[in-house]
Structure 1
């Protein structure tokens, strides 16, 4: 009996002595009742969830959810100004861009959060219980998110802290890395992604792919002045990724009046499953699905329609009577949905790039203007009174019979020509429609109820044109630009006409409210010059140092163990 008892005792004593000699694993904390990196990155499902969070974070930044994106990416550039004359929304650079301001703070915090989470995925994938194929796939996808975030930060702020390792303990000694070092890290991460991610024609709609990586490489190589590599990366996308420009009508309204450019922005037409072969990266939204952001009762996110279309619901006729059916915006091309007119295109976009004179009737396009991107389907240029019960001006033009609360400098936000891509005429979900017969909308409307482009093939083509031009090959640059212009049925450009400004004009014609215009202008060194030239509201307030955002003061304060230098001028 003693022998039976003593054996377990001796075994237990041995275990105790053994574990007592290895204090580190014995004392290591492993949370069991809350999530932490230690228990959240175990299997492939955990990594899929972490990457899904990165997609959601990018979507939130791009979703016009409080000024982090549209109010800085487009407002205050050459393309748009704040029609409500709000100085804090880049109506005034001196007011909007300060170290204490919301716009720079939101960009800094959000993009660095994506970098931090990507670093964790990269670090944890190396030691998790995954196959080698899974480790490579998860790590490469996270690296592309990191590269994309740094691409935004370096062109907004210039030199920024370069963090490529997971930070598991408090740190307050960050310093700024030179811009070129950041760009080289973007190249390294995007090259990894271009090598290891699947092609765009096999990934699930909305997922990052080899084409996204090569597009980012092309743009970054231009910044590094390595034009041959930029051309090569862009060519991988344009010619070797099973992508092509859409040249025929397609999708949900292909049998309705319109054109192929109009089709690109109709509900359900953004992804490859719809037959759209020029989509490279599309932000995914779902209606009335948990996590899908959009709801039939209205949405706080993706409010492009609300922000960038005119507030026609508030227009009265010349007699002061209601001009719209039920006093609400109709879901037609005539009115732009349920807009409030925060963001209005500049005269540069509305008139000049199409060869129009803003002093003349902007409805009458010259016969030589054949570009479908400025057709009535794609830029409504006239407002028609639609209320037959209250106005004797029913069916007549606002431009011919101006409304008393519209035709003055401070209330033009009630009506202005706008790109129809910001709204979904006739395709709003039932939940936001007041009257299906009259096509009137509830006040809860305002979201753009469709998926949204992050990158389309024309942007890559215009990047390659830019690289060709900077290399000195204007003939090839013109040939690429004409790929885009031919689809638009626009007059071809000649090699002698191609300049960086012309490429910016073409980007404006094709990519309004799609490209991050501020990043493009900053990358080209054109921001201050073109804001002064084309933005009548913001131009007088911008100064040379506004080419970069200020480093948020809260970040400088928190970085107590090293100096996080402020950008000059702030």
Structure 2
């Protein structure tokens, strides 16, 4: 979907207020006299409302804040040297003052308010009956989608279906079950009224709504419904796994038959809203995808190397746990090479050792213990990880590279036009497998998982990738999800859903194990939200947070 940017969107963004209070009085000047009521009452204006409702996904997907929320603090990632939010990655003194909490809380509730406004006002927008049904279904879906992020992140917090305007100084505490009851109602509306396909890439469709509903069924333990719906998405809409896992991440192949729904970032970065101070005063959190920087190790200060486009701009935020790397049999599973970078090749003769040529190996990182080399730098298991698997050298390590973008215009460009995949077909196989396992059908679960493992098999090693019912357990399914979906902003939710967050951190992430407590299964409500409400006896901080 290409967002429409015009004067109407400015008004809509101004109307999409959050729950936080205001410390300043602003004098507003509206030279055209245009009001939100007038904008909402025209088909053109209402279209900009729906477009604006989609854009809030850009605060989470493909963004550092979203990765900190959804991938960090799990069994598969730990802090790199450049990690801005180690309190989220390792739970070390995680408190309500965390700026990620504040930013995403405000944007998610602004999104909810905009969806509420659209759903409330759509009858007066002058849309044709067919267009009205579709746009209403989109808004219902988006409200469900944003409320899922809110309730899973913060638990039983504020809930409303009413459009608000101006400053709101009270908030309610609503049970998690109430959130999910509404999520299911909204998704029912979406499934019943969305089209099966769209020519406007990025808009949600009926199969995307069903895929997300399958995820919600699994989350709430409705396993038969999850299995049935995931199977329907697999078989009914023409989606297919790409023959090669690595092809998923090619910049020239992003709109492919495996992607069910994505945040589509624009090749013209101007349209990705990074620097518009009027619309997005905190613009550094907006813009296009920046995942290519976050997982890249520091390489550009080593002999024979300099920063370039191919090797990305290394923000060095996150490094894989040794556990994640060891999940792969890289001799049989192509997803290891399709996900990680181990070798950096000389691109700078000025700093290269004697005898090294352009294109020679300059750096080699490995999860194994390797002998020293006189030809190039080696960072092996003993150099990078402690004896118990914790981080030791947090600057040089095997790096996730499936989000790399070698098409960026310059080596220092922070933005990438890479789409952020929200739901893809492989997840449906994994949902169906987990649901069937919980229903007692491990053989069927193995069938689903074997489909994605066969796709991942290196030629000649197909037999090594096949599993049986005896291999299936909840831990095996979580391991398989890590192999398939690492970095795709699902891991924290997966571990919370399965009740495995504490156990898996204790077993596989020594850095986070030191600090993790049982109350960390919800995040702290932002302190500025707590400070802003006037009904502090009713709306209190989540337990154990200051």
TM (norm. structure 2) is: 0.81
Q: Quote the Cα distance in structure 2 between the aligned partners of 1:145 and 1:373.
A: 32
Q: Which deviates further from its counterpart, 283-292 or 470-479?
A: 283-292
Q: Quote the Cα distance in structure 2 between the aligned partners of 1:161 and 1:167.
A: 13
Q: Quote the Cα distance in structure 2 between the aligned partners of 1:121 and 1:445.
A: 36
The answer for unaligned runs of 5 or more in structure 2 is 1-29, 276-283, 365-372, 386-390
Query: SS of the residue aligned with 2:423?
Result: strand
Q: 1:412 Cα deviation (Å)?
A: 3.4
1:339 aligns with 2:314: yes
Q: Quote the Cα distance in structure 2 between the aligned partners of 1:347 and 1:315.
A: 23
Q: 1:314 Cα deviation (Å)?
A: 1.5
Q: 1:208 Cα deviation (Å)?
A: 0.6
1:214 aligns with 2:210: yes
What does 1:378-389 align with in structure 2 at a 5 Å threshold?
378-389=339-350
Query: SS of the residue aligned with 1:189?
Result: helix
Query: SS of the residue aligned with 1:455?
Result: strand
1:267 aligns with 251
Query: SS of the residue aligned with 1:354?
Result: coil
Kindly tell me: are residues 101 and 202 of structure 1, through their superposed partners in 2, closer, same or farther at Cα, counting changes over 3 Å?
closer
1:311 aligns with 298
The answer for unaligned runs of 5 or more in structure 1 is 1-30, 248-259, 317-322, 356-364, 433-441
1:128 aligns with 125
Aligned CA-pair RMSD: 2.6
Query: SS of the residue aligned with 2:203?
Result: coil
Which of 374, 377, 391 matches 2:353? 391
Q: 1:223 Cα deviation (Å)?
A: 2.5
Query: SS of the residue aligned with 2:319?
Result: strand
1:470 aligns with 438
Q: Deviations over 1:302-329 (max 9, x none)?
A: 221111111211223xxxxxx12xx223
1:359 aligns with none
Partners of 1:309 and 1:422 within 8 A in 2: no
Q: Quote the Cα distance in structure 2 between the aligned partners of 1:100 and 1:198.
A: 42
Q: 1:211 Cα deviation (Å)?
A: 1.5
Partners of 2:289 and 2:418 within 8 A in 1: no
Partners of 2:78 and 2:90 within 8 A in 1: no
Which of 410, 413, 428 matches 2:407? 428
Which of 401, 408, 416 matches 2:397? 416
Kindly tell me: are residues 300 and 146 of structure 1, through their superposed partners in 2, closer, same or farther at Cα, counting changes over 3 Å?
closer
Kindly tell me: are residues 145 and 313 of structure 1, through their superposed partners in 2, closer, same or farther at Cα, counting changes over 3 Å?
same
Q: 1:488 Cα deviation (Å)?
A: 0.7
1:371 aligns with 2:333: yes
Q: Quote the Cα distance in structure 2 between the aligned partners of 1:505 and 1:447.
A: 31
Partners of 2:269 and 2:417 within 8 A in 1: no
2:6 aligns with none
Q: Quote the Cα distance in structure 2 between the aligned partners of 1:72 and 1:151.
A: 13
Which of 151, 154, 170 matches 2:151? 154
Q: Deviations over 1:30-85 (max 9, x none)?
A: x8834443112122221221121122221132232xx4211222222112111117
Q: Quote the Cα distance in structure 2 between the aligned partners of 1:32 and 1:448.
A: 36
Q: 1:236 Cα deviation (Å)?
A: 2.4
Query: SS of the residue aligned with 1:541?
Result: coil
Q: Which deviates further from its counterpart, 232-241 or 385-394?
A: 385-394
Q: Quote the Cα distance in structure 1 between the aligned partners of 2:249 and 2:312.
A: 15
2:367 aligns with none
Q: 1:548 Cα deviation (Å)?
A: 0.8
Q: Quote the Cα distance in structure 2 between the aligned partners of 1:99 and 1:494.
A: 45
Which of 110, 117, 133 matches 2:107? 110
Query: SS of the residue aligned with 1:191?
Result: helix
Q: Quote the Cα distance in structure 2 between the aligned partners of 1:408 and 1:504.
A: 25
Higher relative contact order (CA 8 A, sep 6+): 2
Q: Quote the Cα distance in structure 2 between the aligned partners of 1:191 and 1:240.
A: 18
Partners of 1:464 and 1:477 within 8 A in 2: yes
Q: 1:339 Cα deviation (Å)?
A: 1.4
Q: Quote the Cα distance in structure 1 between the aligned partners of 2:442 and 2:162.
A: 42
Q: Quote the Cα distance in structure 2 between the aligned partners of 1:421 and 1:559.
A: 42
TM (norm. structure 1) is: 0.78
Partners of 1:287 and 1:294 within 8 A in 2: no
Looking at CA atoms only, which structure, 1 or 2, has the larger radius of gyration? 1
Q: Deviations over 1:489-534 (max 9, x none)?
A: 1511211211121111111111112132112222222222222222
